[in-house]
Amino acid sequence: MRIVRTLFLGLVALYLAACDDTSGIHQDRPKFFNNEIEITLYGVDKTTATQAFATLKEDFEYMHFMWHPWQPGPLGRTNELLAMTGEFSANPSVLPLIEKSRTLSHASNYLYNPAIGKLIALWGFHQDTAPKGPPPTADKIASLVRQNPTINDIQLNGVRMRGMNPVLQLDFGAMAKGLAMEREISVLKNLGIEHACINAGGDVKVIGKRGDQPWQIKIPAPDDNEMLAALDVFDGESVFTTKDSDHFYEYKGKRYHRVLDPRTGYPVEHTKMVTVIHPDALTAAAAATALFVAGPEEWRSIADSMDITHVMLTDNQGRTLLTPAMAKRVRFYQQPAKIEISPPLKAKM
């Protein structure tokens, strides 16, 4: 009888542990801007995880509606009103991105420029499928570049706003993703969740740890055929990567991708990939784009200006350029053929 009772109590204990698994990992994969986001929670029970996933899914759907650069929504309506160059009431969902991008655009010497939406659309990247056919004509590109739209062409007066450049069109790119990730990390913290990783297509924001170890992500090689490196990501950090194999098409054997140099209007050619680490996801997102545009000759000055200390840049010559701080963090699966470690940057995270 004692043996039966012991077995019964053991089964009850196992059942209760399964119902309240605070040591397990829970995952969900909602969509945002047509990309799958992997949300991983560690050390929470199933009920809390289910509640968190439902909340985040609803939030991501709403932010998709608010900030999508070409589908109908608050950002689309804002762009329509900015093009009319008259004053109107600013949409509160778009204002945080405008205000943050003012600071980041200036720090990047406007290499991160969220006002070139018309140029991006001209190249055919304001659609869900890859463009086809020849690139835009040189005169159409030059016409938009000459008019030089920037975020400073938006005049703000309290809750009132007006556009000062008729070709200005906002497309915040990965920075919108960064704001979404920061907001959802705050939601998780408010739910009492201390350990989580949000991975949006390789761009990551984490809190806490994965058990006794830091969160770890894999960085793909520029051509996406294999993994380049692994990286430990610590509490509160964000990691963003920009590469020329994201959102591209080919025409007559030449690749055209979405990352445009605002100074020329053409896709950047001197850079293959940039990865940065920063506590703030919006800064990391804008910096990954700006340093990609800056390229191997200018990236250090832009990184200093944007307060970025962890950078890995692969150029079109096959060189992998690293800051000393990033060199200490990254672990290559296969050593790149050419590695150069730069002098330390002045920026401090």
Domain membership of residue 260 (yes or no) is yes
CATH number reported for the structural domain that contains residue 233 in this entry: 3.10.520.10
Q: State whether residue 344 is helix, strand or coil.
A: coil
Q: Above 80 in pLDDT, residue 14?
A: no
* Average pLDDT score over the chain: 90
Residue 20 lies in a domain: no
Give the span between the Cα atoms of 159 and 113, in whole angstroms.
23
Look-up of token digits 């963003």: 240
pLDDT for residue 5: 40
What is the model's pLDDT at position 245?
82
pLDDT over 90 (residue 266) = yes
Boundaries of domain holding 252: 194-341
Please state, for a pLDDT cut of 70, what percent of the chain lies above it.
Answer: 92
Query: Which DSSP string do the residues of 63-122 spell out, in sequence order?
Result: HHHHH-SSSSSHHHHHHHHHHTTS-EEPPTTTHHHHHHHHHHHHHTTTSS-TTBHHHHHH
Indicate the range of 21-35, 114-128, 129-143 predicted with least confidence.
Answer: 21-35
User: pLDDT confidence of 75, banded at 50, 70, 90?
Assistant: very high
**Does residue 243 lie within any of the structural domains?**
yes
In this predicted structure, what is the pLDDT of residue 6? 38
Domain count within the chain = 1
Asked, for residue 231, whether it belongs to a domain, the answer is yes
Which pLDDT score, from 0 to 100, does residue 3 have? Answer: 40
Cβ-based neighbours of 80, under 8 Å, separated by 6 or more: none
Predicted local confidence at residue 345, as pLDDT: 78
pLDDT bucket at 225, cuts 50 / 70 / 90: confident
At residue 328, the pLDDT reads 96
Task: Determine, yes or no, domain membership for 315.
Answer: yes
Residue 287 maps to a domain: yes
| Cα separation, 118 vs 238, whole angstroms | 29
Instruction: With respect to residue 266, please indicate whether it lies within any of the assigned structural domains.
Output: yes
pLDDT for the residue numbered 9: 36
**Has residue 16 got a pLDDT over 50?**
no
Q: What is the pLDDT of residue 23?
A: 55
Task: Give pLDDT tens digits for 114-131.
Answer: 999 999 999 999 998 888
Q: 28: exposed, middle or buried (C-beta count within 10 Å: 0-12, 13-18, 19+)?
A: middle
Position 284 scores a pLDDT of 98
At residue 8 the predicted structure's pLDDT band, cuts being 50, 70 and 90, is very low
Domain membership flag for residue 162: no
Tell me what pLDDT residue 223 has.
81
Output the six-digit token pair for 285.
Answer: 């997102």
Torsion over CA: 137, 139, 144, 148 (sign): positive
Give the pLDDT confidence score for residue 110 in this predicted structure. Answer: 98
CA 11-15-18 angle, to 5 degrees, is 140
> Per-residue pLDDT for 73 more than 80?
yes
